Structure 1
Amino acid sequence: MSSATLAPAGAPASSVRWRIFLVIFALVVINLVDRVALSIAMPTIASEFGLSATMQGLILSSFFWSYAALQIPSGWLIDRFGPRAMVTWATVLWGIFQSLAAVASGGLSLLLTRVGLGGAEAPLFPAGGKLNAAWLSPGERGRGAVIMDCGGPLGAAIGGIVISWLILSLGSWRLAFLVAGLVTIAMGILSWWYLRDRPEDHGGVNAAELSHIRSAGPVGQQAAQAPGRLSPRSLAALCIGRFGWATVFFGLITWGPSYLSAARGMDLKAMGYATFVIFLCGAAGSLTGGFLADAMVNRGYDRGRVAKTMLTLSGLVAALSLIALPRVADPVHAVLLLSVTAFFLLWGSLYWSFPPVLAPSDKVGFVGGAMNCAGSISGIIIPILIGWILDVSNQSYGSVLAFFAAAAGLYVAATLLIDLSGGRATREPAR
């Protein structure tokens, strides 16, 4: 139990909850910078180590072997020991593995550091889902989900610029990895200092903010109650939908830079800038989706209907954009189309507002872990599958893009099967 005391009542509501999510946001940004570093450096590393496309895919996939395997155990540990401790240990440990990658001597040793990195990063997103349920009122959880999740595409965007700049400036991908790892370790120490599992344990939270967090939101909005039981059908649909979404997202992260280099003829500098633009648009889309969803809910519209409508549009736009991409000849126009894809695809960040709605409070970490495990399984399959497809198709990306479009369709279909009405009062639309 923290020794922090609740700040006195009588003052305007404090805003510690948003600073908590600012820390989580920063952690997710760093998480994706570390994760995307290998994708950015892969053309250089592949040349140095003499790696085939299939071996590159295997190394890119290896991160997700441990990441997926530890999602559900991480969710259980978060429910048992709390998100603060798990986030701190995870961040420090993945910083260590990122630093160790700097001394890799070949494909196998690099692969082992990626396995360690994936296992260490596993608790972060389920812990963020747990903090969402503990720190935010029901009317704020959409924003909380996307503030956390938009750090992913923003981290991928920043990673594209930062890692390529570090490689060029330091003349070494190894030094770039070492710098990234040390920054991560420092962020883990900051997390322990500021995060708390509950608002009651944080000395900066006053009575007005605590009352707001525990309220239902705007006047007239009934309290959202956690369901008494977890629906197996909704859990399965949630996991399948996340798998479809993650297939597209991780495809862009792991093979996107290589696509820009091989299929669009970009050098390292141009590839870094293009990656930045694409995933910056993804981050903007994530934030737009979350704030729009909360605005609609706070105006009286049903959260489940809002979420399903937005996620359906997200998947449809992504699918159509990916189908059109091979017909775009100009590299700049291709980057613009990928930016549109990323903008709407990242409305999928709304998935992180689902665990508190679908699960009892003592199972939120488990549901977040199960959902992220399903998405991570795609991260295992996709890098290897795409590498194999490229090897047997003479480096053709047309069928790869068609596959991603089909995955976007799966994302839409499964999302429509999720029942988000359980445990919440249904309200008539605002007039």
Structure 2
Amino acid sequence: MNEKSSQFRWFLAVLMFLISFISYMDRVNLSVATPEIMKEFSFSKMDMGLLQTAFFVGYSLMQIPGGIMSELFGHRVVITVAATFWSIFTALTATCNSLHMFAVVRTLFGIGEGPLAPSFSRFVYRWFSADEKARGTSFLLGGVFFGPVVGPAATVALMLAFGWRSVFIIFGAIGIILAIAWYYFATESPRTNKFVNTAEAAHIEGDSVEATQPQKELAPWKSFLTSSQFWAIGIQFFITDYIMYVFLAWLPLYLMEAQKFSLQKMGIAASFPWAALCLVTFATGYFSDKLIVGGASKYKVRTLSGVIGLSICCVALYLGAVATTPAMNVFWLTISLGSLGLTFNAGWAACIDLGGKFSGSVSGWMNFWGNLGGVAAPTLTAWIATNYGWQSAIITTSAFAIVGIVAWFLVRPERPLVPKTGGRNVACFSEKEAVSNT
């Protein structure tokens, strides 16, 4: 009865962090290699914007199907297949020799990576107790945002040593290794995992029947689509992701063209905003769980956190656009992107609060909208920068944050989209959550 918990869920959280890290390294690599690719193939900014958009078309289309697949087939299988698929096409990027070939490979890469985020949301739902969900989510987001921290410098180093093609081959191989590791270590339920003892399984799942005999069922989409907060959680993420993808797609080239950084200095400067985003995301996950355990409402912890993050981002991004020195520009860009850690963590945690056992579908819906922002951001930003200059492109991005702030006020995480049921439902209907919702 006094058995010490095995804590294996945190090992899987680290593995989730690594897979997310590699997935975003694969995206950052194209952004950092953009100057070399543009030079070798005589591509324009619009060409590169279209290649970024090609990825997001495939990625966006797989968000809702990815969430549904995670609920029907389980996160173990879906994540393993997705990671293997996108890693293959990451490596194949090195073989591209035309704009059309780049576009096809990047679209297929996006399709492969699409199911990842909603499937990991489902994993957090199944593997973390009610007062650990924000911290569990922070490992997913932390990996996502840590990729761009080390990505620019690591990619530049590999490019200088072996050429830009080596980057995609190396990271494609690493992705396949991590996919195999996920299949070996992860299971759908903690109770069926050989590395999890009874104490840890009880901590996560209690005595829920659903935990031991999970049912496969489709989310009530008709009900979801009539909910204003279901639409609001998507709209706010469209704006949040739009801003983030402007950084992801164009920060390296922006620093070199508008701020006159060399390739080596850009590799360092471009990592600062992502480091801030990574740190704020982990801090938000830790403190938001503590606040909820302490009795704070989910509205205050999730919704207001989302609003504050976008508000700071809006102001800091504008100040970065009008900064008169490269150092101040990087400083305000760091504050701007870092503040989105508040919003990102709030959004993904709110999906679990709202969706419960259908968190995969709700997360897929939110991320679908977010990556429509990813579809728009590279090309629209390239068009504005080409016709009106980089300052206008950054100021326009700042103004979009206002729409996301308004949408966040319609999100009420303490009001789940699915009705509560009796007993202790492991993921969204625990007694602790019932207390925090009052």
TM-score by length of 1: 0.91
The 5 Å alignment of 1:302-317 reads: 302-317=297-312
**What residue is the counterpart of 2:129 in the other structure?**
137
Which whole-Å CA distance do the structure 1 matches of 2:270 and 2:181 have between them? Answer: 28
Which whole-Å CA distance do the structure 2 matches of 1:277 and 1:74 have between them? Answer: 32
Which whole-Å CA distance do the structure 2 matches of 1:57 and 1:76 have between them? Answer: 30
Give CA deviations for 1:35-74 in whole Å, capped at 9, x if unaligned. Answer: 1100000011001110111111101111001100111111
Report how far residue 360 of structure 1 moved.
4.5
The 5 Å alignment of 1:29-44 reads: 29-44=21-36
**What residue is the counterpart of 1:221 in the other structure?**
none
**What residue is the counterpart of 1:222 in the other structure?**
none
Q: Is 1:115 matched with 2:124?
A: no
**Residue identity opposite 1:327 in structure 2:** V
Report how far residue 341 of structure 1 moved.
1.2
Which whole-Å CA distance do the structure 2 matches of 1:360 and 1:150 have between them? Answer: 22
2:233 corresponds to which of 235, 238, 253: 238
Change in Cα spacing, 1:97 to 1:427, as seen in structure 2 (3 Å) is closer
Give CA deviations for 1:127-156 in whole Å, capped at 9, x if unaligned. Answer: 111011101111110111111112111111
The 5 Å alignment of 1:210-221 reads: 210-214=201-205
**Residue identity opposite 1:193 in structure 2:** Y
**What residue is the counterpart of 1:327 in the other structure?**
322
Give the total of aligned pairs: 407
**What residue is the counterpart of 1:377 in the other structure?**
372
SS of 1:254's equivalent? helix
**What residue is the counterpart of 2:39 in the other structure?**
47
Which whole-Å CA distance do the structure 1 matches of 2:203 and 2:322 have between them? Answer: 51
**Residue identity opposite 2:361 in structure 1:** F
CA RMSD across the alignment: 1.8
Which whole-Å CA distance do the structure 1 matches of 2:89 and 2:72 have between them? Answer: 25
Tell me if the contact between 2:155 and 2:167 (Cα under 8 Å) persists in the aligned partners. yes
Change in Cα spacing, 1:360 to 1:151, as seen in structure 2 (3 Å) is closer
Report how far residue 427 of structure 1 moved.
4.6
Tell me if the contact between 1:150 and 1:346 (Cα under 8 Å) persists in the aligned partners. no
Report how far residue 214 of structure 1 moved.
2.6
Which whole-Å CA distance do the structure 2 matches of 1:325 and 1:118 have between them? Answer: 30
Report how far residue 215 of structure 1 moved.
5.4
Tell me if the contact between 1:133 and 1:141 (Cα under 8 Å) persists in the aligned partners. yes
2:246 corresponds to which of 243, 251, 273: 251
Tell me if the contact between 1:36 and 1:254 (Cα under 8 Å) persists in the aligned partners. yes
Which whole-Å CA distance do the structure 2 matches of 1:294 and 1:152 have between them? Answer: 20
**Residue identity opposite 1:387 in structure 2:** A
Q: Is 1:182 matched with 2:177?
A: no
Which whole-Å CA distance do the structure 1 matches of 2:190 and 2:437 have between them? Answer: 32
Change in Cα spacing, 1:308 to 1:360, as seen in structure 2 (3 Å) is closer
Which whole-Å CA distance do the structure 2 matches of 1:78 and 1:168 have between them? Answer: 40
**Residue identity opposite 1:377 in structure 2:** L
**What residue is the counterpart of 1:400 in the other structure?**
393
**What residue is the counterpart of 1:350 in the other structure?**
346
Tell me if the contact between 1:285 and 1:342 (Cα under 8 Å) persists in the aligned partners. no
Q: Is 1:290 matched with 2:285?
A: yes
Give CA deviations for 1:380-416 in whole Å, capped at 9, x if unaligned. Answer: 11111111222222xx112211221122222211111
Change in Cα spacing, 1:90 to 1:232, as seen in structure 2 (3 Å) is same
The 5 Å alignment of 1:161-172 reads: 161-170=153-162, 172=163
Report how far residue 338 of structure 1 moved.
1.2
Q: Is 1:336 matched with 2:331?
A: yes
Give CA deviations for 1:245-298 in whole Å, capped at 9, x if unaligned. Answer: 001111110111111111011121111111222211110011111111111111
SS of 1:354's equivalent? helix
Which whole-Å CA distance do the structure 1 matches of 2:399 and 2:138 have between them? Answer: 25
Tell me if the contact between 1:149 and 1:286 (Cα under 8 Å) persists in the aligned partners. yes
The 5 Å alignment of 1:270-289 reads: 270-289=265-284
Give CA deviations for 1:351-375 in whole Å, capped at 9, x if unaligned. Answer: 11122211241x2211111111000
| Stretch moving more, 396-405 or 377-386 | 396-405
Change in Cα spacing, 1:109 to 1:343, as seen in structure 2 (3 Å) is same
**Residue identity opposite 1:108 in structure 2:** H
Change in Cα spacing, 1:92 to 1:312, as seen in structure 2 (3 Å) is same
Report how far residue 182 of structure 1 moved.
1.0
**Residue identity opposite 1:350 in structure 2:** A
**Residue identity opposite 1:399 in structure 2:** S
TM-score by length of 2: 0.89
Q: Is 1:97 matched with 2:89?
A: yes
**What residue is the counterpart of 1:192 in the other structure?**
183
Report how far residue 426 of structure 1 moved.
5.2
2:17 corresponds to which of 25, 42, 49: 25
Give CA deviations for 1:298-349 in whole Å, capped at 9, x if unaligned. Answer: 1111122211221111111100001111221221221121111122112222
**Residue identity opposite 1:56 in structure 2:** M
Which whole-Å CA distance do the structure 1 matches of 2:119 and 2:318 have between them? Answer: 35
- Percent identical: 26
Tell me if the contact between 1:53 and 1:390 (Cα under 8 Å) persists in the aligned partners. no
Which whole-Å CA distance do the structure 1 matches of 2:355 and 2:393 have between them? Answer: 36
Tell me if the contact between 1:95 and 1:182 (Cα under 8 Å) persists in the aligned partners. yes
Which whole-Å CA distance do the structure 1 matches of 2:331 and 2:101 have between them? Answer: 37
Which whole-Å CA distance do the structure 2 matches of 1:72 and 1:65 have between them? Answer: 13
Give CA deviations for 1:5-46 in whole Å, capped at 9, x if unaligned. Answer: xxxx64201101111111111111001000110000001100
| Stretch moving more, 269-278 or 249-258 | 269-278
